[in-house]
Amino acid sequence: MSEPIRVLVVDDSALMRKMIPQMVERDSGIRVVGTAMDGEFALQKVAELKPDVITLDLEMPRMNGMDALRQIVKKHRLPVIIVSAHTTEGANSTFKALAMGAFDFVAKPSNGASAHIADIAAQLTAKIRAAAQSRTRPTPSFAVPEFSKVQKVSRPKSAPSRVVAIGVSTGGPNSVQYVLSRLPADFSGSILIVQHMPEGFTEMFAKRLDTTCSIDVKEAKSGDLLLAGRALVCPGNRHMKVRRAALGNMVVLSDEERVNGHRPSVDVLFRSVAQEFGADSAAVLMTGMGEDGAEGMGLIKAAGGMTLAQSAESCVVYGMPRAAIERGYALRVSPLETLPNAIQSLCAKSAVAMAMS
């Protein structure tokens, strides 16, 4: 029998220092070995207790979570899961922490409803397990783009050469930023993104991407048109589908039941894209836990679309791409470093094909 995963909980809230151990120790394979109320105590406990995984609050007295994270990543190379507040400031700090090397994040419980607590407990447990496994894998070697605003170039609104649907989960914020920031302003495709992320965070995620990318990025709303050079991010706790329409192809959001345990679900998006755009579509599965998106990718392949999966060595968690690859649904496997060029090439080829038809 393997040893339980050793977890250190860092939070200035006494309630959270009590609640998090209760949530995760329902899993017999996880044991909370200690708690700390600020960053300074956390660093002492890391050296003393040698945990496998750390959960970390960012807003704390004395040494805050960001300063503690910087030292944990640099000195100890331990996976850190951010437990983040449901606020604009909290979301912004969370994305900064992910860029600094945090493994993933969960949102702090915003109410005491048992269903809500159970959902967060399940997420946190799964992410602790994935984080512990990540310690045995090489760290992906890619540089997260510096957060700097890009000067936007205005361009006429036009129909895209191809619709590219991207599904991503753990490790996604940095990886998606890497890909989108390397697409040119005259990119001819339209991108749709399902990132497993709670509501309240996707809007900030889209805004952050928009400021660092030459293409336009926004959180999707029902009726938003699929345009060349535009990326739409599915809001947290919604599903995103596409619809062909006389006045322009658009996205439609829905509140249907979870699929594969997720809302948004990658499979929901991929299935819709396959039905509506067929051979004019592409599916990209990137780093993430679980199997969401694998079957949807199979439908896009069957419809004549292109399918790409991120390679194992460049994933933070090699779950979603592996599920599609093992089922034979990925026509191409690419490391993260070459995904931007692969996507750009696909859309450029489609534009040439459309011009010749």
Which residues are catalytic, by number?
A: 169, 196, 292
Phi, psi of 318 (to 5 degrees): -95, 65
Nearest to 33 by CA among 64, 54, 58, 19: 54
CA angle 41, 42, 44 (to 5 degrees): 65
Phi, psi of 220 (to 5 degrees): -70, 145
DSSP calls for 11-64: -S-HHHHHHHHHHHTTSTTEEEEEEESSHHHHHHHHHHH--SEEEE-S--SSS-
Question: In sequence order, which ranges of 146-201 are alpha helices (DSSP H)?
Answer: 172-180
Strand partners, 334: 310
Q: What distance in Å separates the CA atoms of residue 128 and residue 52, rounded to the nearest whole number?
A: 9
Nearest to 274 by CA among 305, 246, 295, 250: 305
Q: Are 36 and 42 in contact (CB under 8 A)?
A: yes
The residues, any chain, with a CB within 8 Å of residue 253's CB and separated by 6 or more, are 220, 221, 222, 234, 235, 238, 239, 240, 241
Q: What is the C-alpha end-to-end distance of the chain, expressed in Å?
A: 62
Question: In sequence order, which ranges of the chain are alpha helices (DSSP H)?
Answer: 14-24, 39-49, 65-71, 88-100, 114-134, 172-180, 202-212, 266-277, 294-302, 320-326, 339-356
Conformation bin of residue 13: beta by default, left when phi > 0, alpha when psi is -120 to 50: beta
Nearest to 190 by CA among 161, 169, 157: 161
